[in-house]
Chain A
């Protein structure tokens, strides 16, 4: 059990550029979540997958955001035309089953300049 892995840990990008983050969940965890956290706030739900199916998306997830989980394994979160308001910590979590804890990765810190 190597835990949830996120890459990169840090990303600095210029406004208007596209960025992509990757999350490798714990193997055999069928559900994968993306959250965003800004200073002084708790993690805010963005979207989640059950296997390869994206089952729910938050209203926070504008059309500039897209997430995929091909083959139900790793997941990617892409932000197009980044804005300064996108600066945040992006967290990935995976879960096996129901009514159990989510395991979080260490996050990707995005800074849009």
Chain B
């Protein structure tokens, strides 16, 4: 039962262009969403989050959009840089329902071409 899905295993983008990573979820009780970046042999590093009371959150080059009706969120990276090449995971939790664990998607490998 995959409650958080990232349907694109990989994505290649030219340096300077926009990267758009997508994530879908099935549990309507999720109310907090996060994006993490992971390099090989390291733990995930937090990038940006969004609460379900918002539909957009921006931090520098990173913007997360949340569409609750579609149960969909996306991460936009503008402009993309070669150092952004990594695996990106979305995660969700539902604190109002008492679900304090973070459920992760399977990840999208982003490659930014110089």
A residues at B contact (CB < 8 Å): 4, 6, 31, 33, 35, 40-45, 48, 50, 55-56, 91, 93, 98-107, 109
B32 and A99 form a contact (CB under 8 A): yes
A58 and chain B: residue at smallest CB distance:
B101
Instruction: Given A33-B101, A56-B101, A99-B32, check contact A41 B106 (CB 8 Å).
Output: yes
B46 and A43 form a contact (CB under 8 A): no
A56 and B46 form a contact (CB under 8 A): no
**Besides the known contacts A33-B101, A48-B101, A99-B49, 4 further A-B residue pairs in the complex with CB atoms under 8 A apart:** A41-B106, A43-B44, A56-B101, A104-B44
A64 to B66 CA separation, bound complex (whole angstroms): 39
Task: From A41, A56, A99, A107, give the contact of B43 (CB < 8 A).
Answer: A107
Number of A-B contacts (CB under 8 A): 64
Of A31, A35, A44, chain B has the most CB atoms within 10 Å of the CB of: A35
Instruction: Given A40-B106, A42-B106, A48-B101, check contact A103 B46 (CB 8 Å).
Output: yes
A100 to B34 CA separation, bound complex (whole angstroms): 9
Question: Which residues of B (35-60) have their CB < 8 Å from a CB of A?
Answer: 36, 41-46, 49, 51
B104 located at the interface, meaning its Cβ lies under 8 Å from any Cβ of chain A in the complex: yes
A99 and B104 form a contact (CB under 8 A): no
B101 and A98 form a contact (CB under 8 A): no
A59 to B103 CA separation, bound complex (whole angstroms): 14
B95 located at the interface, meaning its Cβ lies under 8 Å from any Cβ of chain A in the complex: yes
A101 to B95 CA separation, bound complex (whole angstroms): 13
Contacts A/B (CB < 8 Å), 30 sampled: A33-B101, A40-B106, A41-B106, A41-B107, A42-B104, A42-B106, A42-B107, A43-B104, A45-B101, A45-B102, A45-B103, A48-B101, A50-B100, A93-B43, A98-B95, A99-B32, A99-B95, A100-B49, A101-B34, A101-B46, A102-B102, A104-B36, A104-B43, A104-B44, A104-B45, A105-B43, A106-B43, A107-B42, A107-B43, A109-B41
